């Protein structure tokens, strides 16, 4: 989907491009993960096999590692690994395959949830509710430029932190950029409002199922654990981002020559302010307001269901302890209710839901493929060997140094594996237990992962949202880097401070 969206935006007809004219592209997440499965299978012939003794919760006990007889994985094992990872079947000897009975945490429940929430997101989009709500905000605050910037960034951040708003944000770039130019700002301001708003929201994901949810699942913890630290990162990130964009916007409005895209000012005004060529946004009717309320309420219920209220000493709100099965049911029911309110009809709802699920099919497949890496490492008995290597190095660090090193390690990993879901599935079986050796809770490992992934996705040109958003705004990638890198550094330092405080507070 991302490739097709990008092609439409920049006007490329792949069928018309001759082979010799095609540019070299960075491999997709599917290719990278498939190659990693083969590489890890080869490494099982080289890396010594070993195991830790575990406690009653299944966590490895530090200092108990010992080598065992090796079990190298062959080509057939590598081919079956993603299937086994999706099913999550465990043999009596601890190996994972699809021919034996016995439960192991598989990716099938995660993949199913991804498909259902994809269908859920497609329903309000089909009714025009999201477009209508965004247009209403722009029109209502049209003359209050500074307030409009803040409100729009908050709205996009809400989408990022709740469901990882990404490709769907591309539809709003023309509208927001046109509004910013009309208010005396520039195209870069419009791009920043959308990209940084949604991006910082994703960086500070509180309940984002595609990042925080999947990572928490494979770390073996509740989605509610660490919520407060993720919320702090979200709030501080929005404050920093809004301040940064407002500072630039005010400078441009005062002196247009200081715009980083000043040479394109006249051309951008002609391109984005052609009102006669832009279709009118749908009106925010009472029905669409009700759909917006139901949409927001779905995520409120999700938040309430995952927070361990009893651990916080709160007895008024029940601790429900919901997980992926209940999440899937929640968003399926919510989608049906929204479809009824939106009067999509039975066929219209089913078609819309399936189209939405189809858009996220790639994410579901990435999760299964990434889980295959864990299967190969587990069956090859090398996971504990890798953990032991980390224990001898990273775990000897002080807890504060450890968590910040994990954050820094996730930066290049996030570039190598641009899929946040795939990265979580690949890395959490190793990183989460590693935290136990350094007395760092798993939820901080999850927070370090998602923050690093979100940070990298603000600048990486291989991310469809960055490439597509800049193409729509006619902003060169070099100009975007020049603009955003100071903020990226500020956000990185902020995250490290919050992670450090979290470690100290937990001791």
- Tens-digit pLDDT profile for residues 444-464: 999 999 999 999 999 987 677
Between the alpha carbon of residue 307 and those of residues 169, 312, 328, 458, 502, the distances in Å are: 28, 9, 17, 29, 17
Strand-pairing partners, residue 51, are: 66
Q: What are phi and psi of 359, to 5 degrees?
A: -60, -25
Question: What phi-psi label fits residue 499: left (phi over 0), alpha (psi between -120 and 50 degrees) or beta?
Answer: alpha
- Please state the rounded mean pLDDT for residues 344-365: 90
pTM score, two decimals? 0.76
Convert 194-231 to b/e letters by CB count within 10 Å (16 or more is b): bbbbbbbbbbbbbbbbbbbbbbbbbbebbbbbbbebbe
Name the packing angle between helices 361-379 and 345-359 (round to 10°): 40
Reply yes or no on whether the pLDDT at 358 is more than 60.
yes
Q: Are 160 and 202 in contact (CB under 8 A)?
A: yes
CA–CA distance, 393 with 275 (Å, rounded to integer): 60
Q: pLDDT digits over 189-215, tens only? A: 999 999 999 999 999 999 888 889 888
Question: What's residue 91's pLDDT?
Answer: 46
Q: pLDDT digits over 73-92, tens only? A: 999 999 988 888 887 654 44
Convert 67-91 to b/e letters by CB count within 10 Å (16 or more is b): eeebbbbeeebbebbbebbbbbbbe
Q: Quote the Cα angle for 381-418-376, to 5°.
A: 15
Q: pLDDT digits over 237-269, tens only? A: 999 999 999 999 999 999 999 999 999 988 888
End-to-end distance of the chain based on CA atoms, in angstroms? Answer: 45
């Amino acid at each position: 989907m991302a490739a097709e969206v990008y092609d439409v935006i920049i006007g490329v007809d792949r069928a018309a491009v001759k082979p010799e004219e095609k540019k070299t592209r960075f491999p997709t997440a599917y290719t990278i993960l498939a190659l990693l499965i083969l590489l890890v299978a080869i490494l099982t012939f080289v890396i010594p096999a070993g195991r830790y003794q575990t406690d009653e919760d299944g966590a490895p006990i530090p200092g108990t590692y010992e080598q065992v007889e090796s079990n190298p994985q062959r080509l057939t094992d590598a081919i079956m690994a993603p299937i086994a990872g999706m099913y999550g079947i465990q043999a009596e000897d601890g190996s994972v395959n699809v021919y034996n009975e016995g439960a192991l945490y598989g990716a099938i429940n995660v993949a199913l949830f991804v498909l259902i929430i994809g269908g859920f997101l497609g329903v309000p989009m089909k009714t025009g509710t999201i477009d209508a709500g965004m247009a209403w905000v722009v029109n209502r605050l049209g003359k209050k430029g500074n307030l409009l910037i803040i409100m729009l960034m908050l709205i996009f951040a809400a989408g990022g932190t709740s469901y990882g708003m990404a490709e769907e944000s591309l539809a709003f770039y023309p509208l927001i950029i046109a509004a910013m130019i009309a208010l005396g700002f520039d195209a870069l301001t419009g791009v920043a409002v959308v990209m940084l708003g949604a991006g910082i929201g994703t960086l500070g994901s509180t309940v984002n199922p595609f990042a925080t949810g999947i990572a928490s699942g494979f770390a073996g913890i509740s989605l509610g654990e660490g919520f407060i630290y993720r919320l702090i990162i979200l709030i501080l990130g929005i404050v920093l981002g809004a301040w940064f964009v407002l500072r630039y916007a005010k400078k441009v409005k005062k002196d247009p020559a200081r715009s980083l895209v000043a040479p394109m000012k006249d051309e951008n005004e002609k391109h984005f302010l052609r009102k006669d060529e832009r279709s009118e946004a749908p009106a925010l009717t009472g029905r669409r307001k009700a759909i917006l309320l139901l949409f927001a309420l779905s995520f409120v219920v999700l938040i309430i269901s995952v927070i361990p209220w009893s651990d916080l000493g709160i007895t008024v709100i029940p601790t429900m302890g919901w997980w992926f099965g209940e999440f899937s049911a929640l968003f399926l029911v919510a989608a049906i209710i929204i479809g009824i309110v939106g009067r999509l009809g039975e066929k219209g709802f089913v078609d819309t839901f399936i189209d939405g699920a189809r858009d996220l099919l790639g994410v579901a497949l990435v999760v299964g493929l990434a889980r295959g890496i864990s299967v190969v490492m587990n069956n090859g008995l090398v996971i504990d060997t890798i953990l032991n290597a980390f224990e001898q190095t990273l775990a000897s660090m002080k807890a504060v140094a450890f968590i910040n090193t994990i954050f820094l390690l996730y930066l290049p990993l996030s570039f190598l594996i641009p899929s946040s879901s795939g990265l979580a599935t690949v890395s959490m079986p190793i990183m989460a237990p590693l935290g136990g050796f350094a007395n760092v809770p798993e939820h901080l490992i999850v927070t370090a992962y998602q923050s690093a992934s979100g940070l990298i996705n603000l600048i990486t040109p291989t991310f469809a949202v960055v490439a597509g958003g800049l193409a729509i705004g006619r902003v060169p990638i070099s100009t975007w880097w020049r603009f955003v890198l100071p903020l990226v550094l500020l956000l990185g330092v902020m995250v490290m401070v919050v992670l450090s405080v979290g470690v100290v507070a937990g001791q």
